[in-house]
Amino acid sequence: MTRQPLLRAENLVRDFRTGPRTIFRAVKGVSFDVARRETLGIVGESGSGKSTTARMAAKLIEPTEGLLEFDGVDVTYKAGKALRDFRGGVQVVFQDPYSSLNPRHTVEQVISAPLLYQGRKVLGGRRRVVKESMERVGLNPDHSGRYPAQFSGGQAQRIGIARALVVEPQLVICDEAVSALDVSVQAQVLDLLRDLQRDLNLSYIFIAHDLAVVRQIAHKVAVMKSGEIVEQGSREAIFDAPRHEYTQSLLAAVPQVDPSWEAARQAG
């Protein structure tokens, strides 16, 4: 069996037109791959092009140049039927749990939307599938008639996760999926994502600016700066022995308890 990656991105480039004659290159040729059951974390400060990269990987925007392969198939410029197949394999969880859920739709409508939009017939009916996926992400299935505004941020993000999982994708792209949540809720959602990965054999691309979050969930990490991946490797390699100076400065910027303070506290 060949170890073919689930998703492979090669030299992705994305330009944005900012004026009649000026073009801004947000992503300057990034390459990465995601293996099955593996989590790739992409970290970087805001404006580093990590969200643009995620949106290209999710085929929400087209790359200006480059190649995107999903399950061995070139999907870079696919549309129509091929794109629908891709949408069945790759789903997205967005940053803001409230603004990514239609305020006029009930939870049931939100979660079953991908089934409806992809024209899928499901055994036992949509309602049953919705209840099952609500249970799977830790929501009370009796609340399926409520509206997103009636849930807390963490619960709303669980709705977003349930929506992503309802078509049984292989890859879930989490674009700052826990950044808007409180730290305690963050930990719960990360835990849920890890459990789901184990139970459903999922792969993740996990975009975050918070190194601590990436460290908890990623197997591999790519560090982005000004549209380029400056360093990528296993989690241990990046966190324990960063080679690029930008990675080093990022890690140094994480607030840490100085051992001498701890000693002083113990003594006092």
Partner 1 sequence: MAVPSSAQLEEVDGQAPGGGSKPPGASALKTILRKPSVIFSLAFLLIVTGMAVFAPWVTQLSGWGPLQFDESAVDSSTGGLPLGPWGGISADHWFGVEPQNGRDIFARIVYGARVSMLIAICATALTMLIGVTLGMLAGFAGGWVDAVISRLMDFLMAFPALIFMIAVLSAVPQGNRPLLLVLVLSLFSWPQTARVVRGQAMSITNREFVEAARASGAGRMTLVFKEVLPNLSGTVIVMATLAVPTFIATEAGLSFLGVGVIPPTPSWGQMIAQAVPWYASHPLFFAVPGIFLFLTVFSFTILGDNLQKVWASGGRS
Closest distance of CB 86 from partner 1, Å:
9
DSSP code of residue 181: S
20 versus 268: smaller Cβ distance to partner 1: 20
Closest distance of CB 216 from partner 1, Å:
7
51 versus 232: smaller Cβ distance to partner 1: 51
Query: For residues 118 and 88, is the Cβ–Cβ distance under 8 A?
Result: yes
Closest distance of CB 103 from partner 1, Å:
4
Query: For residues 115 and 122, is the Cβ–Cβ distance under 8 A?
Result: yes
Query: For residues 73 and 6, is the Cβ–Cβ distance under 8 A?
Result: no
Beta bridge partner(s), residue 252 = none
Closest distance of CB 260 from partner 1, Å:
26
Closest distance of CB 29 from partner 1, Å:
24
4 versus 152: smaller Cβ distance to partner 1: 152
| Cβ count within 10 A of residue 10 | 16
Contact partners, residue 150, CB within 8 Å, separation at least 6: 143
CA distance 52 to 58: 10
Closest distance of CB 79 from partner 1, Å:
11
Closest distance of CB 246 from partner 1, Å:
28
6 versus 159: smaller Cβ distance to partner 1: 159
CA distance 88 to 103: 24
155 versus 247: smaller Cβ distance to partner 1: 155
185 versus 233: smaller Cβ distance to partner 1: 185
Q: Which residues bind partner 1 (CB under 8 A)?
A: 58, 60, 84, 87-88, 91-92, 94-96, 99-105, 113-114, 117-118, 138-140, 143, 147, 149-156, 158, 160, 163, 167, 184-185, 187-188, 191-192, 195, 216
CA distance 79 to 143: 36
Question: Which string of b and e fits 182-220 if b means at least 16 CB within 10 Å?
Answer: eeebbebbbebbeebbeeeebbbbbbbbebebbbbbbbb
205 versus 223: smaller Cβ distance to partner 1: 205
| Cβ count within 10 A of residue 118 | 13
